[in-house]
Amino acid sequence: MRAPPLALRPTGFGLTFLLVILLTLIGCVNYGLSLGYGLTFLLGGVWVMTATQALRAARGVRVSLAPPVAVTAGGLADFSVSFSGGAEGVLALTLRGGGAQAVGAWPLIGGVSSGTLSVLARHRGPLSVEGALRVSDRLGLWRVALPAPDPQTVLVHPATEQGVPPAPTRTVAGSGDGAQRTRGDEEFAGLRPYAPGDSPRQVSWRHVARTGTLLTRETDAPQGRARLLDWADTAGDPEARLSRLSAWVTELTATGLPFALHLPGARLPVDSGEAHALAARRTLALHAPFPQAVTPPRRPGLALTAAPARSLSLAQALALRGTLLALAVTLAPTALRAPVWLTALVAALLAHAAWRTRPTPPGTQALAPLPTWLLGLLAVAGGAALNAVYGTLLGRDAGTAFLALLVALKTAESRDVRDGRLLILLGLFTTSTHYFFSQGPLTALHTLLCAALLLAAAPGWTAAGLTLTRAALRRAGGLLALAAPLAAALFVLFPRPEAPLWQLPVQGQATTGLSSEIRAGEFSNLAQSDAVAFRADFQGEPPASSARYWRGPVYEAYDGETWRQVRGGGAPASVEPTGPAQAYTLTLEPSGTPWLLALDVPSRVPAGASITGAFQAVTFRPVTTRRRVELESRPARLGRQEDANRLAFNQLLPSSQSPRARALAQTWQGLAPAARVDAALNFLRRGGFTYTLSPPTLPAQDRVDAFLFGTRTGFCEHYASAFAFLMRASGLSARVVGGYQGGESNGDYLIIRQRDAHAWTEVWLPGQGWVRVDPTAAIAPARLSAGVQTALTQPLATAALPPGPLAQLRLRLDTLQNRWNDLVVDYDGERQSDLLTRAGLGGVGQPAYLILLPVVVALTLLPALLVLRRRGRPVDPAAGALHDLSARLRLPRAPGETAADYTARVTQARPDLAEPLGRVLLAYHTARYAPGDPAGALRDLKAAVRQVRR
């Protein structure tokens, strides 16, 4: 008859694991975390693969349950559990009976294993025990119910009273010595056949040696010497009276005196020995009426041990230790970006939890978890402190820091399986938050390591003995490898929405980057940063270094100290192209601003972006994650037809600022507009000005006068601001433009770093429109031809200094980073649509796509299913060697077949292998059952297996 199909269901932990996957998927969709998709789909693949592992582990499992020989009320009924078959799974057995419940879990190793499961025997009498069997994968995500073992009934003897007075001296009535005798230990009465339960001291070994037959000597005693244990000699409730009688039975059996037992409704004749004592205890156990058992409410879940609620058992301590190691690696990046006090607090909480896992000497009390009130106080205080630091708890920096604090607080109070599994889930969720800060290859490797460590630590909360070891880490890595094809297929084909589901502050406050306003010192601070601002990939030859002006914010409002952007109105300015268009792709790093930094002048922007009246390319939502955009620019005359109100606004100056600079510029008002520009540039060239990153501080009042006629030392923002002031004072419209200038060539693309931030001036000339004037180039021409670093040391240089070995290595690493960004990080909805269109699928939602998606998913699962369906090699070394022998001979072992039966079967089929198989069997038994270190026996076993011919 065919066995019924196995019922596979997710566990509560498995459902919560799936919920975490869905939450991370929603976060990836909303914030465009491309690499987060990969981790999410990888964990989803693990969830699917473990279902197959659970089914595979459940096939061929054989379980037998043996009841204990003797049980006393108030003690434990130790049931012997023997199981075989299955592999890479966990067997869980639940026993219920007499109002008590016990749960045990053991790893399946493929061979024969055993264990003990103890049920509390609350009351005397028959104890009926029923069991429930289930097999789960080692992570505990799925379970398969197996047929329950046969119910077992054991007889629970009464508890033995402690400190009981001596047994009564009353004897069984008789007629004296020799008149009527009974069984005793005084005089030899003859021989009889041996019966089970007879004492070895009573066996007549002389007759055994002569005849080979077991005979037992019978002795007797005067009947008047036999004691009488009577119900009437006890007092109190029935259970107390039975406990006293049980103690007297133990006392008389130890002294060897014969006794009779008289109970209401039951009489046991005079006898002695262990068999008679067992019959007496059985009579006491079956005395009616039996105590009433109270069944406690059933609680779902799996307990590794019956440890006290506020202390850790050895199995739980080992599981928590592995989980803490995985969490420490997971939370490590938070220490690099969180406040120092938070890092110290998290480290202290993890250390406290680790200290609780250490073995405690006998008689000493283990370190208890922190009280709930203290943890709550730390959570509230930590949240308030983070809100004071970041101004919110919803942002990227504050949110991830607060999450790290909550995880650390949870470790300090974890005490059972549910807490341990919650830590695993929190660790996986925390791993996905690292992509808010970086999606580079190192971050990908770190998060993959975190996932492997957490998955390797999870089995420790499923069954005792599955701690975080190298083998557990290898199994977790193998599981991730099996899930990788499915994750790759979903990464490519899963729909990528273009717009977020909701908008929350993700990007933390920028430490570098352009600002919406400019004052002295802004760009000199940026010039000290090597951070990448964006990368530019041209379809043809990139423009010359002197033409690489990446246009950013345009500053038109000036109050004497700060230049700010304004929202322009009126008629749009004219744009007249003067050269061919040039297409290129920008990969923007997160900045928190909407600026696209197009090459001056942008002519085409992507969907969701526009060009302002100041010819700046902006997007409708800030660049909070790495974004890839395609742009087009071309040389053009800007604003020959410009709004008169805008031109008038760009001539405004504060009336009481910098009178000397104003007076100088007014002397140029009689010159033609272009001549005024030349006059200002000549003033800078001949004035002894210096280009430096560390200019002296300028006063708030008359700061242009202080710069032009005092310090004469500054960076690009100083020269651009002063030049725009002079132009406005001379009667021309002028404004400051911020952005980047230059870029480092790295093969077929340019790297624009924060140090390339630059400011220049635009002056409106009649008949020409807005004309770019870079006054910094008048002081340091090398700024355009050689870059900022060369210009600071050699202002007149015409070429950049050649990169050194370290710089060349950094460029090679950036090439890898750019390739990674192109293939993985920047894979969004637009690129997915292009890929599907080139593949002939027509895009997401089209019939071809809907047909292909399930087919591809099925194909990615096929190799993993084939691997998981193969008969697994047992984890136990001795059983693994026997498995290798069966594979070597191509004769698999039958389920539950012992090593002796298997070698006998093989010898019958292959008589020529009798001698080597005998050596294998001897080495196997030595490795499995001999005392001492089995390492040498295992080596002999492996050598014996290799000597068996195929």
Per-residue pLDDT tens over the stretch 612-654: 888 999 998 888 777 888 899 999 999 889 888 999 999 999 9
Catalytic residue numbers?
716, 758, 774
Indicate if the alpha-carbon torsion angle 462, 464, 468, 469 is positive or negative: negative
- b/e code 380-415 from CB counts within 10 Å (16+ = b): eebbebbeeebeeeebbbbbbbbbbbebbbbbbbbb
Residue 872 in this model has a pLDDT that exceeds 60 = no
Instruction: Give the confidence band of 947 by pLDDT, cuts at 50, 70, 90.
Output: confident
Q: What number is the average pLDDT over the span 741-763?
A: 90
Contacts of 317 (CB under 8 A, 6+ apart): 356, 357, 358, 359
CB under 8 A, 24+ apart: contacts of 476-479: 476/452, 477/452, 479/46, 479/49, 479/50, 479/455
The pLDDT of residue 309 is 40
932: left (phi over 0), alpha (psi -120 to 50) or beta: left
The pLDDT of residue 306 is 37
Question: Measured between alpha carbons, how far apart are the two ends of the chain, in Å?
Answer: 35
Alpha-helical runs (H) found in 434-513: 441-457, 470-493
Per-residue pLDDT tens over the stretch 277-314: 999 999 999 988 888 754 444 444 444 443 344 466 77
What percent of the chain is predicted at pLDDT more than 70?
87
Residue 15 CB neighbours (<10 A): 11
Radius of gyration of the chain (CA): 43
Given a contact cutoff of 8 angstroms between Cβ atoms, the answer to whether 111 and 84 are in contact is yes
Residue 722 CB neighbours (<10 A): 25
The pLDDT of residue 63 is 86
Q: ∠157-161-165 over CA atoms, to 5°?
A: 135
Residue 44 CB neighbours (<10 A): 20
Q: What number is the average pLDDT over the span 878-883?
A: 80
Q: What number is the average pLDDT over the span 513-540?
A: 80
> Higher pLDDT residue, 929 or 947?
947
Residue 543 in this model has a pLDDT that exceeds 60 = yes
Hey, what's the torsion of the CAs at 532, 537, 538, 539, to 10 degrees? Answer: 180
CA distance 869 to 880: 17
Per the listing, tokens 């197959």 go with 52
Computed over every residue of the chain, the mean pLDDT equals 84
Per-residue pLDDT tens over the stretch 478-524: 899 999 999 999 998 888 887 666 655 544 444 446 888 887 766 66
Residue 562 CB neighbours (<10 A): 15
Residue 193 in this model has a pLDDT that exceeds 70 = yes
Per-residue pLDDT tens over the stretch 888-941: 887 877 656 788 888 888 888 888 888 888 888 888 888 877 777 778 888 888
CA distance 397 to 624: 13
The pLDDT of residue 622 is 83
Given a contact cutoff of 8 angstroms between Cβ atoms, the answer to whether 456 and 467 are in contact is no
The pLDDT of residue 498 is 72
Alpha-carbon distances of 105 from 306, 414, 650, 877, rounded to whole Å: 12, 20, 79, 21
Q: What number is the average pLDDT over the span 797-804?
A: 67
CA distance 359 to 792: 62
> Higher pLDDT residue, 447 or 210?
447
438 residue type, one letter: S
Biggest distance spanned by C-alpha atoms of the chain:
156
